[in-house]
Structure 1
Amino acid sequence: MSKKLLVTGGAGFIGANFVHYWLGKYPDDEVTVLDALTYAGNIESLSVVNDNPHFYFKQGDICDTDLVEALMVERSIDTIVHFAAESHVDRSITGPDAFIETNILGTYSLLKAAKKLWIDTPKEQGLPETKHRFHHVSTDEVYGTLSPTDPAFTEDTQYAPNSPYSASKAASDHLVRAYHHTYGLQVSTSNCSNNYGPYHFPEKLIPLVITNILHDKPLPIYGDGQQIRDWLYVEDHAVGIDLVINKGIVGENYNIGGHNEWANIDIVKLICELMDKAFAADPSLIHRFPQAKQVSQNNSKSLITYVTDRLGHDRRYAIDASKTTNELGYKPFESFESGIQKTLKWYLDNEKWWRPLL
């Protein structure tokens, strides 16, 4: 039976990739995107699906509960996939208000609307509860930080958020859990590791390094660069969410990771090496990106610059996705080496998308 999805934050990085994936795999489903189009939301990321009759876009704020309710009724929504969030840690340190409003109050707004339309209204009308799912997309950062020898985060790891961003996401996770246990809302939550891939806003590490190399700008490395992250190719994340929605147990949390732990400095050095090779193999890149002096001389690493470390910078994240693998059959298809090659090629081929964002 086909689904009617509401994808919040669907013009953002992960949301847009999820929309492309879902419409490609489930062509009979209807996908409605609700996105406020803040700085990190880009309608151009959805241009490839604009002509799909099963796709609908609405600009709006998830904190506007009346708008959410009206849209859910209009589009007969039975599944919410909630990506919409402020997600940049640096921004949460200098301006936490937006993170509290979007990540906590926005999630609460969606939960209220879902409960009203899927549980309360049918009950008032003497009808059976609407078949539904509220899937909440969260992050591994809610678990805090790990030492180099600590085991990876599991779904049972105690929450210990260390930034306003991760604290706001932890709060939203708890709200989703509470709406299931208190009201019976059919929910699921996935906690993912760091995503990378196409349509990634250029303020984040990997696209920042790529675009800075192309402009001969410094590649800023926080502290000693030894912060370790588990990297997940964004389409592998979409596959994981698909499995949780269609096979996961209601009320459960599932970790989705890439099994790719890398220190930040090693990622940056790898991108430098790959960019140097790309320019050496394709002389047309030198003409297309005339500002890229160092990479054209096989010297991208000279742009690496160490800067003062971020306040409260978590040292290591690592996801144990055994539960998702064993119960749902999840397996990431991309290694970091293959995924980063795809990502680099996408940015070199899609200057038209990222240049206006710089």
Structure 2
Amino acid sequence: MRRLLLTGASGFIGTNLLENWRGQYEEILNLDVRPPLDAAHQSFWLKADLLLPAEWNRRIADFQPTEVIHLAARTDMDEKTTPGSGYRVNIEGTRNLLHSLANLSSVQRFILISSQFVCGPAHIPRHDTDYAPVTVYGQSKVEAEKVLRHFRIPFPWIIARPTNVWGPWHPRYPQEFWKVLQKGWYVHPSGSPVRRAYAFVDTVLHQLQQILSLPGERVAGQTFYLSDPVDDIAHWVDAFSCALRGRPARRIPRQLLFALGRAGDAIEALTRQPFYLNSSRARSMTTDYVVPLDKSLAILGRGPISLEGGVKRTVTWLRESYPDLFFSAK
């Protein structure tokens, strides 16, 4: 009897996971401080704070999970705090969960969902513990990985590092990138390609399923990036621009993009409100972010859906969920 324990599955990836996997398990339990994004998943949810294990220890013991995917985390970028204070759930929450699971004989596999941000864009790691985070969030994920690596648990564990994941139920893109693109405000830097690793959410689900189903000797103790192949992000941008507006995104010289970014900084300083383009975003739009994918693609395989198929599904969801904002191209 397969019983899946999820933490933090009320969010973006977890919502897609529950929608696609709920028929594969006899029981699923989602521990999360927030209710599910999709009301159809309410029956799987138990309100639980990983920093307060007394609230849920007994429930996990009674549930006797066979597989565990630990998604719960604070994922925003707050550079005014520290990993130990602002991102406690990422570190202490992981430790609390492992303490709760350590004595359960039912657990057959444990996956920690980490992040590509354990290394910044300027550093391609040479091995699994070659860390170089440049954000507080990234450092908190490094600490979470270290907690797992040093914890004595009797079941196989795997670390999964998603890259930039997109798709239906994304929490920010409908009001950020996709909105800016729909309104015709988006401009893309001309010149050399900007190579980054992006992942349609179904690719992440497929690769997680492979981690759970492959023989233990192929995955146990390993670190995998969850991603589609690295590509010029212009292909992703243009696929969405054509689907939303009927034509590719406009190109502008990089120096003009940086000037617009500085203008955005000034607007933010005057209004004290975020602007859709600032210097930080302009740098991100022109910076490669390559991760080592050879092992992941060789063992876990590629996702089952093409870029065009993922874009089509996402745009359908956008038009159903935000009909006043996203409409068919004329």
Structure-2-length-normalised TM-score: 0.76
1:151-190 alignment, distance < 5 Å: 156=128, 158-179=130-151, 182-190=152-160
CA distance in 2, matches of 1:240, 1:154: 22
Q: Which residue of the partner structure matches residue 76 of structure 1?
A: 64
Residue 157 of structure 1, CA deviation = 6.6
RMSD of the alignment, in Å?
Answer: 3.5
1:165-244 alignment, distance < 5 Å: 165-179=137-151, 182-202=152-172, 204=173, 208-213=176-181, 216=183, 219=186, 228-244=195-211
Q: In the alignment, residue 90 of structure 2 is paired with which amino acid? A: N
Q: In the alignment, residue 112 of structure 1 is paired with which amino acid? A: H
CA distance in 1, matches of 2:316, 2:249: 17
Shift in alpha-carbon separation, 1:57–1:351, aligned structure 2, 3 A: same
Q: Which residue of the partner structure matches residue 245 of structure 1?
A: 212
Secondary structure of 1:177's counterpart equals helix
Residue 188 of structure 1, CA deviation = 1.3
Q: Which residue of the partner structure matches residue 243 of structure 2?
A: 274
CA distance in 2, matches of 1:81, 1:131: 11
Shift in alpha-carbon separation, 1:183–1:8, aligned structure 2, 3 A: closer
Q: Which residue of the partner structure matches residue 36 of structure 2?
A: 43
C-alpha deviations, 1:214-254, integer Å up to 9, x for none?
5x4955989x9986421111011011111112214322222
CA distance in 1, matches of 2:96, 2:138: 19
Q: Which residue of the partner structure matches residue 108 of structure 2?
A: 132
Q: In the alignment, residue 243 of structure 1 is paired with which amino acid? A: Q
Q: Which residue of the partner structure matches residue 284 of structure 1?
A: none
Shift in alpha-carbon separation, 1:183–1:275, aligned structure 2, 3 A: closer
Residue 270 of structure 1, CA deviation = 4.6
1:303-322 alignment, distance < 5 Å: 306=261, 307-309=278-280, 315-322=287-294
C-alpha deviations, 1:183-212, integer Å up to 9, x for none?
44431111121110000002x4x7622234
* Native 8 Å contact 2:239 2:311 kept in 1: no
Q: In the alignment, residue 33 of structure 2 is paired with which amino acid? A: A
Q: Which residue of the partner structure matches residue 312 of structure 2?
A: 341
CA distance in 1, matches of 2:181, 2:49: 35
C-alpha deviations, 1:112-144, integer Å up to 9, x for none?
1111x32xxxxxxxxxx4443221011122132
C-alpha deviations, 1:279-337, integer Å up to 9, x for none?
xxxxxxxxxxxxxxxxxxx89859x9632216996933223333234334x22123333
Note the residue ranges of structure 2 that are not aligned, 5 or more in a row: 252-256, 262-277
Task: Between 132-141 and 317-326, report the one with greater CA deviation.
Answer: 317-326
Residues matched between the structures, number: 298
Aligned partner (choices 40, 59, 64) of residue 47 of structure 2: 59
Aligned partner (choices 107, 112, 118) of residue 99 of structure 2: 112
Task: Between 28-37 and 306-315, report the one with greater CA deviation.
Answer: 306-315
* Native 8 Å contact 1:153 1:320 kept in 2: yes
Residue 77 of structure 1, CA deviation = 2.3
Residue 339 of structure 1, CA deviation = 1.7
Q: In the alignment, residue 87 of structure 2 is paired with which amino acid? A: I
* Native 8 Å contact 1:272 1:301 kept in 2: no
Identical positions, percent = 19
CA distance in 2, matches of 1:70, 1:352: 43
Shift in alpha-carbon separation, 1:318–1:93, aligned structure 2, 3 A: same
CA distance in 1, matches of 2:10, 2:125: 29
Secondary structure of 1:43's counterpart equals coil
Secondary structure of 2:176's counterpart equals helix
Shift in alpha-carbon separation, 1:183–1:131, aligned structure 2, 3 A: closer
Q: Which residue of the partner structure matches residue 5 of structure 2?
A: 6
* Native 8 Å contact 2:69 2:112 kept in 1: yes
CA distance in 1, matches of 2:89, 2:73: 6
CA distance in 2, matches of 1:316, 1:255: 17
Residue 110 of structure 1, CA deviation = 0.8
Q: In the alignment, residue 223 of structure 2 is paired with which amino acid? A: N
Residue 93 of structure 1, CA deviation = 1.9
Shift in alpha-carbon separation, 1:217–1:354, aligned structure 2, 3 A: closer
CA distance in 1, matches of 2:125, 2:94: 24
Q: Which residue of the partner structure matches residue 281 of structure 1?
A: none
Structure-1-length-normalised TM-score: 0.71
CA distance in 2, matches of 1:167, 1:71: 31
Shift in alpha-carbon separation, 1:96–1:218, aligned structure 2, 3 A: farther
Residue 61 of structure 1, CA deviation = 1.1
Shift in alpha-carbon separation, 1:311–1:213, aligned structure 2, 3 A: closer
